[in-house]
Structure 1
Amino acid sequence: MFKLLLVVALFGCAALAAPLNDDVITKFLANQDTDGTYAYDIQQASGLQIQEEGQAGHYARGSYSYTSPEGVPVQVVYTADENGFHPQSDLLPTPPPIPEEILRSIRFIQEHPTPEELADRAVRAQQI
Structure 2
Amino acid sequence: MKIFVVFALYFVAAGASPLGSTSDTPEPVRTQNTPAVSIHDTTTSIPILRQELGINNGSFINNFETGHGIVVNESGSQKQIGDGSGTVSSGAFSFTNPEGAVITVNWVADENGFQATGDHLPTPHPMPEHVVKMLADMEAAALHAISTIP
Same structural fold, with TM-score higher than 0.5 when normalized by the shorter chain = yes
1:47 match: 69
2:51 match: 28
Deviating beyond 3 angstroms after TM superposition, the runs of 4 or more aligned structure 1 residues are 104-107
Residue type of the alignment partner of 1:49: V
When you count helix as a share of all residues, which structure comes out higher?
A: 1
CA distance in 2, matches of 1:124, 1:48: 55
Aligned residues: 97
**Structure 2 runs not aligned, ≥5 long:** 1-42, 79-85
In the alignment, which of 60, 69, 91 is matched to residue 38 of structure 1?
A: 60
Q: Give the structure, 1 or 2, with the largest relative contact order (CA under 8 Å, sep 6 or more).
A: 1
TM-score (norm 1): 0.60
TM superposition shift of 1:27: 1.5
TM superposition shift of 1:96: 1.4
Aligned-pair identity (%):
28
TM-score (norm 2): 0.52
CA distance in 2, matches of 1:45, 1:97: 39
After superposition, where does 1:71-86 map in structure 2 within 5 Å?
71-86=100-115
CA distance in 2, matches of 1:72, 1:81: 29
CA distance in 1, matches of 2:63, 2:93: 10
Residue type of the alignment partner of 2:115: H
Highest Rg: 1 or 2?
2
Cα separation, partners in 2 of 1:125 and 1:47, compared to 1, 3 Å: same
CA distance in 2, matches of 1:104, 1:76: 29
TM superposition shift of 1:26: 1.6
Can you list the C-alpha shifts for 1:18-62, whole angstroms capped at 9, x where unaligned? Answer: xx97422222210112x2211111110001000111115421111
Q: CA RMSD in A?
A: 3.1
**Structure 1 runs not aligned, ≥5 long:** 1-19
Residue type of the alignment partner of 2:131: L
